[in-house]
Amino acid sequence: MLTDPIADLLTRIRNAGLARHEDCKMPHSKLKERIVAVLTSEGCLGGYSTTEEGGHKKLVVVLKYDDQRRPVIEKIRRVSMPGRRVYVRHDRIARVRSGLGLSVLSTSRGVMTDSEARRLKVGGEIICEVW
């Protein structure tokens, strides 16, 4: 049993990138799939798919590298944790690395990036920051 499955997702992505793996597998959940979908649409990841192994769904995340085989995701940091939730209004969402990075938020309209939340004028819980 995991205490924080989102932190496990981010750690697996970070470790697989440092080890230069092509992809990484993890247990599936709808929230994890939505977070990976947002990171894929922003160009941080190469893609994702779901598979079935031993009667359990798995999420397979394809990592993305630049021309010199460095991971596109330089850092990925969990902001809101089970013991410390971080909520923001749409006008208080901070820019990550002066706009070079992005935040992933869980809002009433679903999981989205910080720029999309500002545009739609919705606040929510900051899940993680990526740069």
pLDDT per position as a tens digit, 57-105: 999 999 999 999 999 999 999 999 999 999 999 999 999 999 999 999 9
Task: Say whether 7 sits in a helix, a strand or coil.
Answer: helix
- 112 pLDDT band, cuts 50/70/90, is very high
Question: HSE (CB half, 13 Å, CA atoms) of 76?
Answer: 23
Q: What pTM was estimated for this model as a whole?
A: 0.94
Chain centroid to CA 86: 16
- 2 pLDDT band, cuts 50/70/90, is confident
Q: What is the pLDDT of residue 24?
A: 97
Q: pLDDT at residue 40 above 70? A: yes
β-bridge partners, 121: none
